[in-house]
Amino acid sequence: MKKRILFLCTGNAARSQMAEALARANHGDVVDVVSAGSRPAGFVHPQAIRAMADLGVDIRDAESKSAERFINEKFDAVVTVCDSAAQDCPVWPGARRLEHWSIDDPSSGGYPAFVATRDDLARRIAELVASLED
């Protein structure tokens, strides 16, 4: 049975969107994954779309979603990928495990920051998925 993961950030425009796409692309055989924002931006950042496209992962049709949509669902892991989301969502009722990854917003760093964030997320996600399989 697949493990369920929810990635949360504030706007659900970059970090959590890339995390969702990476987890699905690299570990979709063992995880069911979604992402959301505590205060959704209403769009996915174009540089996040570009960074994922460089890996052959298309998130052009991804949508910025509210965390409220998933509040009553059960997850094996809920991961906040930014400090403000951790403050907005310090607990998650249906989470077996809650993790916080303090990842800087790549928006102010240009495209290279999105690539670095994407690669950092890929590494962290691989470790998370391995730990969930135990």
State the catalytic residue, choosing from 8, 9, 59, 78. Answer: 9
The 3-state secondary structure of 76-111, one letter per residue: CEEEECCHHHHHHCCCCCCECCEEECCCCCHHHHHH
Does 98 qualify as catalytic in the annotation?
no
In the CATH hierarchy, which fold is given to the domain comprising 3-132? Answer: Rossmann fold (3.40.50)
Six-digit token pair at 107?
């928006």
Taking the C-alpha atoms of residue 104 and residue 82, their distance in angstroms, rounded to an integer, is: 7
Domain boundaries, the chain: 3-132
Model confidence over 20-39: pLDDT tens digits? 999 999 999 999 999 999 99
Q: Which of 79, 82, 125, 129 is the catalytic position?
A: 82
Query: One of 36, 85, 89, 103 is an active-site residue; which one?
Result: 89
pLDDT score of 88 more than 90: no
For the record, the structure tokens of 49 come out as 């779309």
86, pLDDT greater than 90: no
Look at residue 8 and give its three-state secondary structure: strand
pLDDT digits (tens, 9 = 90+) for 45-78: 999 999 999 999 999 999 999 999 999 999 999 9
Whether 118 is catalytic? no
29 is catalytic: no
For residue 89, name the pLDDT band (cuts at 50, 70, 90).
Answer: confident
